[in-house]
Amino acid sequence: MPRPLALTLDLIARAHSVPVPDDETALQVMTDAELKPGLDAIVARHAGGGGLWVFAYGSLMWRPEFAYSERRIGTVRGFHRRFCLLQRRFRGTPERPGFVLALDRGGLCRGVAFRLPGIDVREALMPVWRREMRGRGYVARWLPVATEAGTVSALTFLVNRASDRYSGRLTDAEIAEKIAAACGHVGPSAEYLFRTVEACEALGIRDRHLWSLQALVAERLRARAAAT
């Protein structure tokens, strides 16, 4: 059974009721032409057998935005899910950057492996490649994902430690402060957190980092509401 969250959409909406305009200068995104060499390189490293899979651990779990023919709960070893990628646009601003999830070194991560249909690998991958790679915050790898039906090789997006968006290892309290305060033109950073925790709970995925953060962010949003 999913556990009740301290963080709620109503609490988030009350804290971030004023729309935030987009600022294209806050994050220059790559064009499809700029993305193509990287996509060509990752496609060339695809083994080919066993189908085409993508591993989701954040917003791809609850908003994949691509067609898929199969979905499995799976585990990646050697990397853990963490809010370590600053978001100065979309769900934050340069003055109040939010966070999105990435995989960083060490530990393991349970998420969802999606099998993509179709025989044209580039065409199938381009929507998710555009979405994840255009902000230069990730590096892509084919990683083994252990599932109950067997291990699959899945395209997985790891944090780009060379990016100026990489925050390093902050405490949960430090991350929660930024998430609670941040909102961009797409919406609050806290909503991204809520949707991800909600998806994990529905799938039976327990993540202590996410669970701690949702409680800490809720606490900060309630304090802000009480002060106004």
Residues annotated as part of the active site: 132
Instruction: Enumerate the H helices of 23-111 as residue ranges.
Output: 32-44, 59-62
Packed helices 172-181 and 208-227: angle between N→C axes, nearest 10 degrees: 50
Q: Identify the H or E element spanning 155.
A: strand 150-159
Reported residue count of the chain is 228
Contacts of 38 by beta carbon, 8 Å cutoff, 6+ apart: 129, 133, 140
Measure the CA–CA gap between 128 and 65, rounded to whole angstroms: 8
Per DSSP, 224 falls in state H
Measure the CA–CA gap between 167 and 181, rounded to whole angstroms: 16
How is residue 191 written in tokens?
Answer: 């909503």
Cα angle 141, 152, 106 (rounded to 5 degrees) comes to 50
